[in-house]
DNA sequence: CTATTATTTCACTAATTCCTGAAATTACGA
DNA sequence: TCGTAATTTCAGGAATTAGTGAAATAATAG
């Protein structure tokens, strides 16, 4: 299995970006390879294409599955497992948002909720609690909204996104001062 | 400088989450401390509060400044530098989105743009290019929209967010099938 | 079942990232 | 300008994370 230079560039870029995205180089590469492949690939295909160890590929695929970013299937008359990235880019986007939220935001939201149950007893803590409350409110509002939007049909979301800041004009009881 | 147990919990949580957010433990702690402090703090205050080395605090503050998440100022009759997190949570949110976009998304967007300039010459590459184009389009549309929304007044954004999926009803030329 | 192929686990090494203390540099008051 | 306080730089050790190969386990064809 050899990868065209065109694909190669994309794969290497994903590898490099991986660390910024909270995955490692090889996981980024595996995902990129599957993303551009027109066919599902088995683990050995990936080993050949990327020059990684078999065990590393196995672990990388497990991680990608834990992110729900790859699906696996079996082909007829072949006992190996084949992996692919979902076709639908909207589905990918939705899952990515959900998983990142689960990992990066939900724990903090729940910590904030817990902390805000307590009654602060000093001025210092009253100030801190107020700051936590602001953070909690903003995060909660934003994530709730994201949830809501994700439930809309992609076509609707596209309309909304294309509208951009223009939505403000549609908002009920708008007041002229906010632009 | 001692930190109340209430603040402590928040600070330690941010430290732990740091690695998921692409910053390290101490940077997370420093930010959390500044976020809940009612007063700007100097580097030695932070050393005392968190038990880190002076040099580590210095590097952490530099990193937070590179994220534009902390401001620095001088107090009268004191040559030390004092640091604080911006008051306005909306401002913090805006900056965070901007910086993450710059680090995590823009490089990929530009790689995709470059790659899509080329004419694919094989079927394999034509398929890959189509996948890249889908990704490019989705990212571009989403980031453009985020830019646009960030320009609205917070009050307007709050209205929009509170509306949730209800926006779909306001959208022009909606069709009844999309819910 | 058994033999063979496929996959996972895991102990170990490599690579990277984090953190510190010492030294160097910078800023500023006298 | 000099001396001191404040800050930054940086080399090296500590800690963490990534990647490998060998061995174990799982799956299935015959």
DSSP code string of A150-167: HTS-HHHHHHHHHHGGGH
**A153 alpha carbon, distance to own chain's centre:** 18
The mean per-residue pLDDT over the stretch B122-127 comes to 97
**What pLDDT shows up at residue A1?**
58
- pLDDT class of B109 with cuts at 50, 70, 90: very high
Structure-block tokens of residue B81: 């530098």
Residue B177 main-chain phi, psi, to 5 deg = -70, -40
- pLDDT class of A172 with cuts at 50, 70, 90: confident
- pLDDT class of A173 with cuts at 50, 70, 90: low
The mean per-residue pLDDT over the stretch A161-179 comes to 71
Distance A42 CA to D30 C1' (A): 24
What percent of chain A has a predicted confidence (pLDDT) above 70?
96
Does residue B174 carry a pLDDT above 60? no
The mean per-residue pLDDT over the stretch B113-132 comes to 97
DSSP SS3 for B6: helix
Q: Which of B93, B125, B168 sits opposite A6 (nearest CB)?
A: B125
Whether A108 and B17 lie within 8 Å, measured CB to CB? yes
The per-residue pLDDT for range A42-71, each reduced to its tens digit, is: 999 999 999 999 999 999 999 999 999 999
Protein residue nearest nucleotide D17, by CA to C1': A24
Q: What is the largest CA-CA distance in chain A?
A: 71
**What pLDDT shows up at residue B7?**
97
Between CA A41 and CA A47, with CA A42 as vertex, the angle to 5 degrees is 100
| Proximity of residue A37 CB to strand C below 7 A | no
Lowest-pLDDT range of A164-173, B95-104, B122-131:
A164-173
**DSSP assignment of A7-31:** HHHHHHHHHHHHHHHTS-HHHHHHH
**What pLDDT shows up at residue B70?**
97
Between CA B94 and CA B115, with CA B100 as vertex, the angle to 5 degrees is 125
**What pLDDT shows up at residue B33?**
98
- pLDDT class of A134 with cuts at 50, 70, 90: very high
Closest by CA position to B34, among listed B95, B97, B75, B82 = B82
| Proximity of residue B25 CB to strand C below 7 A | yes
**B73 alpha carbon, distance to own chain's centre:** 22
Rounded CA-CA distance A47/A52 in Å is: 5
**What pLDDT shows up at residue A166?**
87
Whether A151 and B160 lie within 8 Å, measured CB to CB? no
Rounded to the nearest integer, the mean pLDDT of chain B is: 93
Distance from the A67 Cα atom to the nearest Cα atom in chain B, whole angstroms: 14
Does residue A179 carry a pLDDT above 70? no
* Contact indicator for A31, A70 with CB cutoff of 8 Å: yes
- pLDDT class of A153 with cuts at 50, 70, 90: very high
The mean per-residue pLDDT over the stretch B51-80 comes to 96
Distance from the B106 Cα atom to the nearest Cα atom in chain A, whole angstroms: 11
| Proximity of residue B74 CB to strand D below 7 A | no
Rounded CA-CA distance A76/A48 in Å is: 22
Pick out residues 35-94 of chain B having their CB under 7 A from any atom of nucleic acid strand C: 51-56, 59, 74, 79
Q: Give the residues across from B73 on adjacent strands.
A: B82
**What pLDDT shows up at residue B1?**
58
**What pLDDT shows up at residue A156?**
94
Closest by CA position to A20, among listed B64, B128, B74, B104 = B104
Does residue A164 carry a pLDDT above 70? yes
Q: Does B76 touch chain A (CB under 8 A)?
A: no
| Proximity of residue A79 CB to strand C below 7 A | yes
Please say whether the dihedral angle defined by the alpha carbons of residues B88, B94, B96 and B98, taken in this order, is positive or negative: negative
The per-residue pLDDT for range B22-61, each reduced to its tens digit, is: 999 999 999 999 999 999 999 999 999 999 999 999 999 9
Rounded CA-CA distance B100/A91 in Å is: 22
As a whole number of Å, the CA-based R_g of chain A is 22
Does residue B176 carry a pLDDT above 70? no
Rounded CA-CA distance A65/A63 in Å is: 5
Does residue A165 carry a pLDDT above 90? no
Rounded CA-CA distance B15/B29 in Å is: 5
Rounded to the nearest integer, the mean pLDDT of chain A is: 93
């Amino acid at each position: 299995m050899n990868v065209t230079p065109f694909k190669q560039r994309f794969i290497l870029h994903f590898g490099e970006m991986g660390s910024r995205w909270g995955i490692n180089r090889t996981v980024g590469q595996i995902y990129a390879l599957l993303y551009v492949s027109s066919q599902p690939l088995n683990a050995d295909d990936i080993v050949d294409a990327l020059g990684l160890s078999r065990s590393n590929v196995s672990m990388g695929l497990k991680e990608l599955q834990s992110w729900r970013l790859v699906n696996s299937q079996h082909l007829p008359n072949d006992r190996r497992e084949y992996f692919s990235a979902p076709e639908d880019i909207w589905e990918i986007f939705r899952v990515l948002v959900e998983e990142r939220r689960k990992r990066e935001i939900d724990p903090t939201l729940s910590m904030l909720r817990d902390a805000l149950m307590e009654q602060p007893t000093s001025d210092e803590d009253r100030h801190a609690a107020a700051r936590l409350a602001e953070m909690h409110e903003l995060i909660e509002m934003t994530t709730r909204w994201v949830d809501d939007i994700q439930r809309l049909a992609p076509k609707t979301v596209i309309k909304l996104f294309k509208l951009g800041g223009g939505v403000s004009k549609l908002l009920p009881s708008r007041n002229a001062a906010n632009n």
